Copies of this chain bind each other. A is one copy, B any other.
Amino acid sequence: MPTYKAPLRDMRFLINEVFDFPKHYAGLSNGKDADPDTVNAILEECAKLCEGTLAPLNLSGDQEGCVLENNKVRTPKGFKEAYEEYCSGGWQGLSHPTEYGGQGLPMSMGLFKSEMMGTANWSFTMYPGLSLGAMNTVMQHASTELKNIYMPPMTDGRWTGTMCLTEPQCGTDLGQVKTKAEPQADGTYKITGTKIFISAGDHDLTENIIHIVLARLPDAPAGTRGISLFIVPKMQVNADGSVGEHNNVVCSALEHKMGIKASATAVINFENSVGYMIAEQNKGLEAMFTFMNTARIGTAIQGVAHAELSMQGAVAYAKERRSMRALRGKQEPEKVADAIINHADVRRMLLTQKAIAEGGRAMIYFAAQYADHMTNGVIEGDDKKFKYWDDKLGFFTPIMKGFLTEMGLEAANQGVQVFGGHGYIKEHGMEQIVRDARISTLYEGTTGIQALDLLGRKVLVMTRGKAVREFTGQIAKFSLEHMGNAKLRRYATDLARLSAEWNVLTMRIMLMARKDREQVSASSHHFLMYSGYVTLAYFWALQAAVADKKLAEGNGSESPEFYKAKIAVARFYFDHLLPRAKGHASSMLKPSKTLTKLPIDHFIFE
């Protein structure tokens, strides 16, 4: 099993030197306490929790899985104790308001925390992670009364929460939701229906679980415009906030999954369960999705997490496993064979993992600053501010969620590949990373949905290409600034070309889509992947530029070797991964009829 070490040096490089978080925090209404020393102390404490408590439960959690007995879920050995340690450290409320018992720190610090926790043990992290989604929804949409009841115990982790969207007949297409909500005389609702794929839907970590449920009022219009949002606690809550009677919320089954086996994926049956409406009637879907961009960053982190963990395992193995001799000559003549890390093709795999892990991390930390501003809008009750930053973040969200999870899965597969046949054996833990990573392109909107959200919604409908123009403007500016530096010219030139090309491609698809709406679907996947490769190129060039500057000025916090490694990986990215964008650029312009022409019954001839 890979031994997880939190990549604190890389994190600090991004936080302090690439994105200047100290300055960023100084400008936030909730950033005053996030001074560099505090941030650093928190990162180090969190690393200890992750390395010492969560990582050791990763392999055993996979082997043991969750068990359903008498409609109660038992999490794997050690999870309850780990969760208690997590809560007693005050980690759950790190980025939530002090008025509910949180530490009131910026959202981004919660993301740094989630990254480390998720890398150490993704399954474990799902329990507090889903609860954060529920907390955000309650915080933004519930009445003061409901917030005062539900936020404090969720903030200190005594209760967790879930998001209950999916039903057997629908996941993406939530307009098909059938769960019913019948209004009662006392202003509550009776909720009845079956929800599936409920992560953290049941478990033995807390005394109560707060479900956020999409359901339909008796007279609601059909489709998405007839869905409302409810709080439905597993156990009813007494007036004094203590846990009362059972609320007819039953976990009737657990799914048997490919991976994230220590995360309980539950079928939850509601039968006349008492629910409390939050948000406006029939506008539940929009309310549910308000924090979608941040929820999706949370899943995008999974790409980075699995790439990082798999890289850590693969690099360690590649240093130890000896096979054949490097083609450029014996590297370790005194040994029976060279360690495989000496082979160029093995390095290609390791560098792919490193480029994804560290490039993806940069992408997320960049977006985390937008998320900070957006959350500030919520905390300050400033809807306009919320909307402005949410829109800015919205362009990057599908790129991060869609692209980084696909890349994380590739990185996890490369880790298995470095191990050869041994990668296929469970005890090494490398195949588990692939199985755990496999969910990331499916939930919280599949890659296809992210692609459609990016091209159809964020680029074409909402901004008519402006989102691309703005970001490529930033890239072009970077490019101009660094064209004069011989060491960076290569990146600057490529980026100048790509920022122009990205706009041209967007325009061409826009024109094609005017005549043929289906073109949006036909181009979407290639547009997403192209956008991802170009965005990652920018973040690698940015890291190389900062490293180059620190080397030249000699005033960086890191060693020269660290900066040189950044430049080496940037070069690798531009040589070996970025060229894939060419294929996507070509394919996205192919007419939709290539895809739509074949009649449904001609896919398979029996």
Contacts and interface: CB of A to CB of B under 8 A. Distances in A.
Contact of A257 (B171, B175, B343, B425): B425
Interface in A330-352: 336-337, 339, 341-351
Contacts of A575: 587, 590, 594
A417 B323 contact: no
Contact of A595 (B170, B420, B438, B572): B572
B9 A417 contact: no
A324 interface: yes
A605 B565 CA distance: 10
A417 B600 contact: no
B425 A255 contact: yes
A493 interface: no
A21 B348 CA distance: 41
A252 interface: no
Interface string A409-436: 1000100110011011111000100110
B311 A520 contact: no
Contact of A173 (B7, B324, B441, B564): B324
A421 B517 contact: no
A521 interface: yes
A349 B522 CA distance: 11
B451 A345 contact: yes
Given A324-B173, A328-B596, A417 B447 contact: yes
A296 interface: no
Interface stretch (A206-214, A283-291, A577-585): A577-585
Contacts of A327: 456, 517-518, 520-521
Contact of A598 (B329, B343, B347, B443): B347
A133 to B, nearest CB: 16
Given A438-B416, A442-B416, A517-B328, A572 B586 contact: no
B424 A257 contact: yes
Contacts of A524: 345
A119 B559 CA distance: 53
A258 B582 contact: no
Contacts of A435: 258, 435
Nearest to A565: B602
Nearest to A426: B256
B443 A421 contact: yes
Q: Which of A347, A417, A526 has the most CB of B within 10 A?
A: A347
Tell me what chain A mostly uses at the interface: helix, strand, loop, or mixed. Answer: helix
A421 B258 contact: no
A604 interface: yes
A287 to B, nearest CB: 21
A354 interface: yes
A603 B350 contact: yes
A171 B421 contact: yes
Q: Which of A324, A344, A420, A571 has the most CB of B within 10 A?
A: A344
A576 interface: yes
A454 interface: no
Given A312-B604, A603-B354, A604-B315, A345 B452 contact: yes
Given A328-B596, A562-B605, A576-B587, 10 more contacts: A171-B421, A175-B337, A255-B424, A259-B424, A327-B517, A328-B518, A421-B439, A575-B587, A576-B595, A579-B582
The 9 nearest A-B residue pairs measured at CB: A344-B521, A258-B431, A579-B583, A328-B518, A575-B590, A579-B586, A173-B323, A344-B522, A580-B583
